[in-house]
Amino acid sequence: MKITFIGGGNMATALIGGLRKQGFSAAGMQVVDPVEETRVRLTDSFGVRCAPAIDAAALNCEVLVLAVKPQVMKEALAPAAGKLQDQLVVSIAAGLQLKDIGRWLGGKDGNYGKLVRCMPNTPALIGAGITGLYAAPAVDHEGRATAEKILKAVGRTLWIDDEALMDVVTAVSGSGPAYVFYFIEALQNAGTTLGLPAETARLLAIETFLGAAKLAETSSEDVAELRARVTSKGGTTAAAIEVFNTQGLDATIARAVEAAAARGRELCDILGQD
């Protein structure tokens, strides 16, 4: 299998690195990126062929991975429009619907069918990501397996049956690392305010998140039950949870995720315009 990446930024780099670690040949991958520094870095790091623009060699592939910013996707795809030969196209660009990508690729009747839309998140940069994937109806079992194999190079994957829900995936997991960082920052700041050294507060906050997340992942119990078991009646945890409940923290988080999902839908409409 030959894979061409359109765009050589951080996520493409993570995918290439993950695939190489899994034994995928450097000769089976190539990258198109206009920035010379990026091309040199990728060639030096992974031994892959790089080109400044889409050429015949770049289109000589079975899979095209779209890894450019959504704002420039239409322009980036213009040299490939109408030239694909039934390749599987995998997009990791946030906020772009398959119908718009298909139209820009100049598929039959303005629709290129073999498309998969993916939403990885930034922990993918260290191989710890989670990616939601949605496949157009024209993508067969083999195509889905291929897309999944590529994204599994940077973490876990799951399939979404309705493309409209990709905006929710973006709001929960795509934006989610920022929510976690926000809470870690707040917890760390609270610790330092109460007298802990900054590095101590940082370590306690980060390791607590890591350990709690691992416990939630490995436990058969629901997270609500795990929380309840830590919250002894009249204890220190109960005092903190009471403040969260009084301040409506759960409702605030719900509104935040709803706002992110709504903005995702707005961006789909804006970015998909011709």
Pairing of strands 63-66, 3-6: parallel
Query: 213 with 250, same domain?
Result: yes
Per-residue pLDDT tens over the stretch 114-162:
999 999 999 999 999 999 999 999 999 999 999 999 999 999 999 999 9
Last residue of a domain, one of 137, 162, 187: 162
- Give every CB contact of residue 267 below 8 A, 6+ residues apart in sequence: 70, 94, 95
Query: 49 with 125, same domain?
Result: yes
Q: What is the residue whose two structure tokens read 């359109």? A: 6
Phi, psi of 94 (to 5 degrees): -70, 145
Q: 171 in a domain, yes or no?
A: no
- Counting residues of the chain whose pLDDT is more than 90, the rounded percentage is 93
Phi, psi of 5 (to 5 degrees): -100, 125
Helices (H), 47-132: 73-77, 98-104
Last residue of a domain, one of 162, 194, 228: 162
- The number of beta carbons lying within 10 Å of the beta carbon of residue 145 is 11
Query: 45 with 129, same domain?
Result: yes
Per-residue pLDDT tens over the stretch 257-267:
999 999 999 99
Q: 167 in a domain, yes or no?
A: no
The one-letter code for the residue type at 254 is A
| CATH code of 126's domain | 3.40.50.720
**Secondary structure (3-state) at 262:** helix
Q: Which two tokens stand for residue 252?
A: 């605030």
Query: 81 with 185, same domain?
Result: no
Query: 124 with 190, same domain?
Result: no
Query: 226 with 98, same domain?
Result: no
Q: 64 in a domain, yes or no?
A: yes
Q: Which two tokens stand for residue 180?
A: 């976690």
* pTM of the entire predicted model: 0.92
Closest to 31 measured CA to CA, from 62, 5, 60, 69: 5
Q: 270 in a domain, yes or no?
A: no
Query: 155 with 183, same domain?
Result: no
Query: 90 with 118, same domain?
Result: yes
Answer whether residue 112 shows pLDDT above 90.
no
pLDDT of residue 108: 66
How many folded domains does the chain comprise? Answer: 2
Domain extent at residue 247: 176-265
The one-letter code for the residue type at 148 is E
Query: 148 with 249, same domain?
Result: no
Q: What is the residue whose two structure tokens read 């917890």? A: 187
pLDDT of residue 137: 93
Per-residue pLDDT tens over the stretch 151-187:
999 999 999 999 999 999 999 999 999 999 999 999 9
CB 96 within 8 A of CB 272: yes
Per-residue pLDDT tens over the stretch 26-83:
999 999 999 999 999 999 999 999 999 999 999 999 999 999 999 999 999 999 999 9
CB 60 within 8 A of CB 87: no
Query: 84 with 189, same domain?
Result: no
Q: What is the residue whose two structure tokens read 């058969």? A: 220
Query: 158 with 61, same domain?
Result: yes
Q: What is the mean pLDDT of the chain?
A: 95
- How much is the average pLDDT of 97-103? 93
pLDDT of residue 274: 77
- DSSP letters for 179-212: HHHHHHHHHHHHHHHTT--HHHHHHHHHHHHHHH
Query: 220 with 153, same domain?
Result: no
Q: Which two tokens stand for residue 209?
A: 């998140």
Per-residue pLDDT tens over the stretch 230-263:
999 999 999 999 999 999 999 999 999 999 999 9
Q: 144 in a domain, yes or no?
A: yes
Q: 190 in a domain, yes or no?
A: yes
Confidence class of residue 109 from pLDDT cuts 50, 70 and 90? low
Confidence class of residue 273 from pLDDT cuts 50, 70 and 90? confident
The rounded distance, in Å, linking the Cα atoms of 63 and 79 is 16
Phi, psi of 35 (to 5 degrees): -90, 120
Q: Which two tokens stand for residue 169?
A: 């995936």
- Give every CB contact of residue 46 below 8 A, 6+ residues apart in sequence: 16, 17, 20, 26, 29
Q: 196 in a domain, yes or no?
A: yes
pLDDT of residue 110: 58
